[in-house]
Amino acid sequence: MFDKILIANRGEIALRILRACKELGIATVAVHSTADADAMHVRLADESVCIGPPPSKDSYLNIPALLAACEITGVDAVHPGYGFLSENARFAEILADHNLHFIGPKAEHIRLMGDKIEAKKTAQRLGIPVVPGSDAAIIPDQDAMAIAKAIGFPVLVKAAAGGGGRGMKVAHTEEDLALALTTAANEARSAFGDASVYLEKYLQKPRHIEIQVLGDGRGGAIHLGERDCSLQRRHQKVWEEGPSPALDAAARARIGLAVAKAMQQLKYLGVGTVEFLYEDGEFYFIEMNTRIQVEHPVTELITGIDLVKAQLLIAAGEKLPYTQSDVQIRGHAIECRINAEDAKTFMPSPGPIRLWHAPGGPGVRVDSHIYSGYNVPPNYDSLIGKVIAHAETREAAIARMKNALAEMVVEGIKTNIALHQEIFNHAAFRSGGQDIHYLERRLGLR
């Protein structure tokens, strides 16, 4: 097992990793920008190192500063969390060059799955169903229209690199295609430094289903059920739950076993999430995230498996701690992302928190790094915490979540708690009938 780990992240995921390390007796080093000097994970870590000013490029994305922090503190491994450098294959290689363990997949798999076109080709090769579309990056002036006509409108133009909804545009007709291609390519160039785009069939009302996987890097791999992330705004997840109310046992077993088999063939190492669109009983691969996910607590609560601890154990060279038969889905879990933003306009709301009270009770979990007096910086993602409710049934989990959000107090800034409470009133949500466009249609946000 590792002796000391540097946590190359911030916020609630940094605190989550720190707690897992403490349970395993691993010393921790927190890194932080000047804006995060008073962060909770910095206060609780065994050591801390300031790595730069607030902009991410000068701190959490600053590889030389992170390497310097590793050297002066004598760590033997780095956990990247999610976001920032968590899916940067070059960062993993640089750490290896300095005899440091990257707690994540092999660099080759990060690079492979980071390129959406190559990831799609790999998924097809491994027997995973994919969305119909182009097999390679397209040249807008030459083959885009021919491919789009072959697929059939509407089509989705997507960035080959990156994710998070950036570099994605819909062309409903032939007349829309040129503008969609230009806009998506410009967004992709700005966000990822790569203007490459490709085309996919635009599904009208799909659900977003993702399969959690865990592999040992030697051919052993299992799946841990699915999460339904269909409640989204502008391709950003708002609410996640598991198991999906849209799947029956046969569909769940079919896609889960297909993904596990693919990860075995790939000899995947660590945790990962294979994401699908699901429509009319069919699954279509869209991407794989080679890291821990924001919504991992949903899986932890319905399986009883600590994903971060499993991630640490596997990275340290231990055997896969579970077999597929060990994975039993128990009950239902729902996660609400709590953001520092206006619930109606979605404008960010940074600033000092005057009062913070976390909800509690049976089956309620809160993952958050904030506290009374904490100042939410304007420099990063607006996520300030997650409330997760677990119960025997979906209806009971919803009831617990409603109570938890009613108890939650965050004063001094605006949050999106009211948005989650509004969702409870939607008949389609209560029946489990939402698709990925549902929330935007229902709230008039498109």
By residue count, the chain amounts to 446
Query: Do 233 and 186 form a contact (C-beta atoms < 8 A)?
Result: no
At residue 372, the 3 state secondary structure works out as: coil
125 is a catalytic site residue? no
Q: Which residues of 107-135 are buried (b: 16+ CB within 10 A; e: fewer)?
A: bebbbbbbbbbebbebbeebebebbebbe
Query: Do 148 and 230 form a contact (C-beta atoms < 8 A)?
Result: no
In sequence order, the 6+-apart residues with CB closer than 8 A to the CB of 320 are 214, 215, 216, 220, 221, 222, 314
From residue 421, alpha-carbon distances to 376, 396, 408, 424 in Å are 23, 16, 12, 5
| DSSP per position, 233-274 | ETTEEEEEEES-TT--HHHHHHHHHHHHHHHHHHT-EEEEEE
Selecting among 16, 111, 227, 291, the annotated active-site residue is 291
Residue 390's identity, in one-letter code, is: H
Q: Which residues form the catalytic set?
A: 291
